[in-house]
Amino acid sequence: MDFMDVPQEYADRIRIADNGCWIWTGWYSGVHGGTGSKAPCGLLKRDKRVIRANRYFYELATGINPGRLHIRHRCDNTLCVNPDHLECNLQRSQNPKRAKRNERDACPHGHPYAGGNAYIGPNGYRRCRACNRARYHERKRLEQLQQLQQETA
């Protein structure tokens, strides 16, 4: 997709950088996707709805609605809306820190991930069963202690 193909209503909100990024200069949010990240995310109004600018330009260029899939910026600039710099992928494959974390042989407390001691949690991270068991027993112990204190008070 060429810059000439961008609808005129949005073309004046884009600044072309030296590295080829199309920087969105229109409305943007300071919190990216509700994750607490401070990375800005370009926003625009389309059919009386507020949508992310990168999703709109990805769909405009490819004709593919990304749905719930994640739009990743190859240039690592969250305000870039250049379709050549955007790719659609699953959220879990987005984060290189997560991939590196899953390569470890043991949990932070030293329990090995081998022998059925590991499982994948709902957030996509590998979890340690031994640590999970220890947290459960500690929580139960504290609950019993609180109950005992309430009974004596």
Domain boundaries, the chain: 3-93, 96-152
Please list the rounded mean pLDDT of every run of 10 residues in the chain (153 residues): 74 88 84 55 86 88 82 84 84 55 78 87 82 94 92 83
Q: Which residue type is seen at 123?
A: N
The pLDDT assigned to 92 comes to 52
Does this model's pTM top 0.95? no
Tell me, what's the pLDDT at 113? 86
Give residue 53's Cα distance to chain centre: 16
User: Where does the chain show beta strands of DSSP type E?
Assistant: 14-16, 22-24, 28-29, 41-46, 49-52, 70-73, 86-89, 118-120, 126-128
Q: What does each C-alpha distance from 108 to 71, 125, 144 come to in angstroms?
A: 31, 13, 28
Q: What is the pLDDT of residue 32?
A: 47
CB atoms within 10 A of CB 50: 10
